[in-house]
Amino acid sequence: MGPKQYKDALIRASSADDVVRTRAFDTIANSFRPLKWPAPFDSSGVLRNEATNSWDNDDYLEKALSTHERHRIIETFQVASEKSDPTYTPVYAGKGVGKIYSIDKAFDILSRVEQETITTISTLNNVLPKGES
Domain positions in the chain are 4-100
* Burial letters 86-123, b for 16+ CB under 10 A, else e: bebbbbebeeebeeeeeeeeeeeeeeeeeeeeeeeeee
Taking the C-alpha atoms of residue 62 and residue 40, their distance in angstroms, rounded to an integer, is 17
Taking the C-alpha atoms of residue 121 and residue 2, their distance in angstroms, rounded to an integer, is 35
Percent residues over pLDDT 90 in the chain: 74
Residue 91, pLDDT score: 96
Residue 5, pLDDT score: 96
pLDDT mean over 115-122: 94
* Residue 28 near residue 74, CB atoms below 8 Å: yes
| Whether the predicted pLDDT of 34 surpasses 60 | yes
| pLDDT tens track for 41-98 | 778 899 999 999 988 877 889 899 999 999 999 999 999 999 999 999 999 999 999 9
* Residue 27 near residue 65, CB atoms below 8 Å: yes
Q: Does the reported pTM lie above 0.75?
A: yes
Whole-Å CA distances, 107 to 28, 32, 52: 37, 39, 35
Phi and psi for 46 in degrees, rounded to 5?
-135, 160
